[in-house]
Amino acid sequence: MTPASPKPNKTKDPNPGIPIYGCEHIQRLLTRSQDVTNNTIQHYKMLLRVIFDNTPIIPQTSKSVDRRPVTSLIPNYLCLQCPTTTTAKDRLKHGKLKAHMFYVDSRSGGLFCQMCDDFVWDPTLEELRLRKIGTGSFSSRKRKRDEPFTDPAKDDTAYMSINTTAAPCRATGLRGIFNMGSTCFMSVILQSFVHNPLLRNFYLRDGHQVGQCTQDNCLSCGMDELFQAFYSEETTSSYVASKMLSDSWLCQQAAFSELAGYDEHDAHEYFQFLAEELHRTNRQERHVSPTGANASNASHLTSKCDCIVHQTFYGKFQSTLTCQNCGVVTTSVEPFLDLSLAIDSIAKRQGNNGVESSHDWSQPLTLQRCLDVEYMQPERCEYSCRSCDSPQEARKQLSIKNLPNVLCIQFKRFEHHKSLRTSAKIHLKVQFPLQLNMLPYTNRARTQDTNENFELARSCTYDLLSVVVHVGKLNSGHYISYSRVGNQWFKFDDHKVTMASESHVLGAEAFLLFYIIRSLA
């Protein structure tokens, strides 16, 4: 008997899978009708274009329920069911008013369900988001008209690779500082320090060992606490800098004891004071032996400090005196923390001869002109020439020998007349650029062909980082500041933080400017 041939097993075609949804609420929306499904998907694509194709800061500006403009430093929510952008606070109000439940995060493009009170992962919408992030478009294989949903399994790897990276949080350094009674002079300097990447990196990597510090009223410990609060806490609430204030009052620098109390103070003086204190608490001196003809006059150079303040803010002047009688040249080098420009006297100078004349006040000064007068025009003076062994007329040329990584420039706006016992503020507009080339004011500009040395020019190029402004009168004024975070400018007015445009920053009546070197190489 011949055994029967085995029947081949036939495999049936699989049944179409059941579509998977992010939650039961989005399922109801996407299965309501084909028109609703198509409109929802098209609207989601449009929102992703708004978020990822335009400037990311645009979705942060919205209108409240009562149609007032709202600027937020935290993510906003774009309604998936209507063209409304709302804040997290007003999201519930909008949902109750319009019966809308789904929103798109203005930074990540993620889908938020109001009923679930959480972000949900919907395969179809998530595939669109991943495509937009990965390729910048929504194009992929063609789908059948009756296949609006995707298989979630194939997206798992892409989804995990993108979403395992920590998403940007609120701890970006954008916090106001409460005014504790005429303390705006301190707040603006602290804000400029907080948004200084060199200082930020130093303190966030434990450059100052707080646990091992034994100094009383240590301002460097206070700065460490400040940086941790601004960059480690997920909050946008304003900061109370009480430790910085009390330590400023109680520190060992008796020369700055006038900072105690609640009177008006000079922000520039506080910058110098704070820099000196941070140097004192972080200094690491490296002794070197001076050599050469200027060794007797170089006592201030017998030690080189490697502290974070010197690495960040300090540069060196070079002063060259040429005797007009015998031609002997005397050179001296001195460190500087900032450049102070007497804008009132500079405005009165005419041409290159230094003759004072009336200034056309309708034409504002420029920072470049101020620097030209100070560091490119020699001046005549008298000094005791060692070669002639008598007082002689000399020609003095001041230049910059070493540029700092962060250049602080002060416009002298406060005049004090001791004889008249009066003080006044100079309301003189000085135009300043976003990019500053300091090469013409260095001694290297006089010894090298700067037109062909592009690397030299690049090493002397600065970008504007922060601006401190004094508004109002001398004795009843107020300090505000601007700082750049990435490519976006922000205005800091005590506890209030708002976005600012470049034109707004450049139009300010600056008191202090902080420029950061473009290349550290």
DSSP track, 477-511: -EEEEEEEETTEEEEEETTEEEEE-HHHHHTS-EE
pLDDT higher than 80, residue 263? no
Residue 399, beta-bridge partner list: 318
How far from the centroid of its chain's Cα atoms is residue 478's Cα?
A: 21
pTM > 0.75: yes or no: no
Residue 492 · residue 483 · CB < 8 Å: yes
How many C-beta atoms surround the C-beta of residue 2 within 10 A? 4
Q: What is the CATH number of the domain that holds 481?
A: 3.90.70.10
Highest mean pLDDT among 2-16, 45-59, 292-306, 459-473: 459-473
In a domain, 67, yes or no: yes
Q: Do 219 and 150 fall into the same domain?
A: no
- Report the Cα–Cα distance between both ends of the chain, in Å, rounded: 92
- 414 and 510, same domain (yes or no): yes
- Enter the tokens of residue 439: 């090469």
Segments forming the whole domain that contains residue 338: 334-379+406-517
Closest by CA to 59, choosing from 125, 108, 23, is: 108
**What local confidence, expressed as pLDDT, does residue 211 receive?**
85
- The number of distinct structural domains making up the chain is 3
Mean pLDDT throughout 69-76? 65
State the pLDDT confidence band at 64, using cuts at 50, 70 and 90: low
* Rounded mean pLDDT, 384-400: 82
What's the pLDDT score for residue 416? 66
Alpha-carbon radius of gyration of the chain: 32
Domain boundary among 135, 163, 191: 163
Same domain for 33 and 117, yes or no, is yes
For the record, the structure tokens of 314 come out as 């300090």
Within this chain, do residues 294 and 417 fall inside the same structural domain, yes or no?
Answer: no
Residue 401 has pLDDT above 50, yes or no: yes
Per-residue pLDDT at 512 = 96
Q: Are residues 288 and 183 in the same domain?
A: yes
Q: Per residue in 365-382, pLDDT tens?
A: 899 999 998 888 888 888
Q: Poorest-confidence range of 50-54, 94-98, 149-153?
A: 149-153
Mean pLDDT, to the nearest integer, of 297-309? 61
Q: Are residues 138 and 233 in the same domain?
A: no
Going from the C-alpha of 169 to that of each of 143, 158, 173, 221, 454, the distances in angstroms are 37, 22, 11, 25, 39
pLDDT band of 395, cuts 50, 70, 90: confident
Q: How far apart are CA 405 and CA 198, in angstroms?
A: 9
| Mean pLDDT, residues 401-428 taken together | 82
At residue 392, the 3 state secondary structure works out as strand
Give the confidence band of 284 by pLDDT, cuts at 50, 70, 90: low
Lowest mean pLDDT among 5-19, 20-34, 261-275: 5-19
Q: What percent of the chain has pLDDT over 90?
A: 32
pLDDT of residue 158: 53
Residues 211 and 141 in one domain: no
133 lies in a domain? yes
> For position 137, which CATH number holds?
3.30.40.10
Quick count: other Cβ atoms within 10 Å of Cβ 402? 14
Whole-number pLDDT of residue 480? 96
Helix axes 267-282, 184-194, angle to 10 degrees: 50
121-136: average pLDDT: 84
- Flag whether 148 is in a domain: yes
- Comparing 38-52, 355-369, 489-503, the range with the smallest average pLDDT is 355-369
Q: Are residues 41 and 142 in the same domain?
A: yes
End residue of a domain, out of 163, 186, 216? 163
For residue range 214-241, what is the model confidence (pLDDT) as tens digits?
A: 888 899 999 999 999 998 877 778 999 9
CA-nearest of 184, 177, 268, 194 to 511 is 268
Q: Do residues 366 and 497 both lie within one domain?
A: yes
Residue 276 vs residue 362, higher pLDDT: 276
Buried-state track 415-434, b at ≥16 Cβ within 10 A, e below 16: eeeeeeeeeeebebebebee
Tell me what the pLDDT averaged over the chain comes to: 78
Strands 85-86 and 77-79: antiparallel
Judge whether 109 and 53 are in contact, CB under 8 Å: no
Residue 186's alpha-carbon distances to 61, 84, 260, 307, 517, in angstroms, are 30, 40, 12, 22, 24
Domain boundary among 132, 147, 163: 163
In a domain, 399, yes or no: no
Q: At 450, is the pLDDT very low, low, confident or very high (cuts 50, 70, 90)?
A: low
The pLDDT of residue 390: 75
State the pLDDT confidence band at 1, using cuts at 50, 70 and 90.
very low
Domain assignment present for residue 15? The answer is no
Indicate the burial class of 447 (C-beta count within 10 angstroms; 0-12, 13-18, 19 or more): exposed
pLDDT at position 73: 65
Give the mean pLDDT of 130-138. Answer: 79
In this structure, are 494 and 345 located in the same domain? yes
153 φ, ψ (degrees, to nearest 5): -60, -40
Instruction: For residue 64, give the nearest of 81, 76, 55, 51 by alpha carbon.
Output: 76
Judging by beta carbons within 10 Å of its beta carbon (0-12, 13-18, 19+), is residue 161 exposed, middle or buried?
exposed
Q: Are residues 500 and 366 in the same domain?
A: yes
> Does residue 396 fall inside a structural domain?
no
> pLDDT band at residue 200, thresholds of 50, 70 and 90?
very high
% of the chain beyond a pLDDT of 70 = 74
**Least confident residue range of 110-114, 219-223, 302-306, 484-488:** 302-306
Q: Are residues 488 and 507 in the same domain?
A: yes
Task: With cut-offs at 50, 70 and 90, classify the pLDDT of residue 419.
Answer: low
| pLDDT of 161 | 52
For 179, phi then psi, to 5°, come to -80, 120
pLDDT at 311 over 50: yes
Residue 217 lies in a domain: yes
pLDDT of residue 451: 58
The band of 292, judged by pLDDT with boundaries at 50, 70 and 90, is very low
Q: How much is the pLDDT for 425? A: 80
Handedness of CA 44, 45, 46, 48 (dihedral sign): positive
Can you list the positions of beta strands (E) in 92-207?
Answer: 102-105, 111-113, 118-120
Contacts of 449 (CB under 8 A, 6+ apart): none
203 assigned to some structural domain: yes
| CA 180/CA 177 separation, integer angstroms | 9
Higher pLDDT, residue 171 or 133: 133
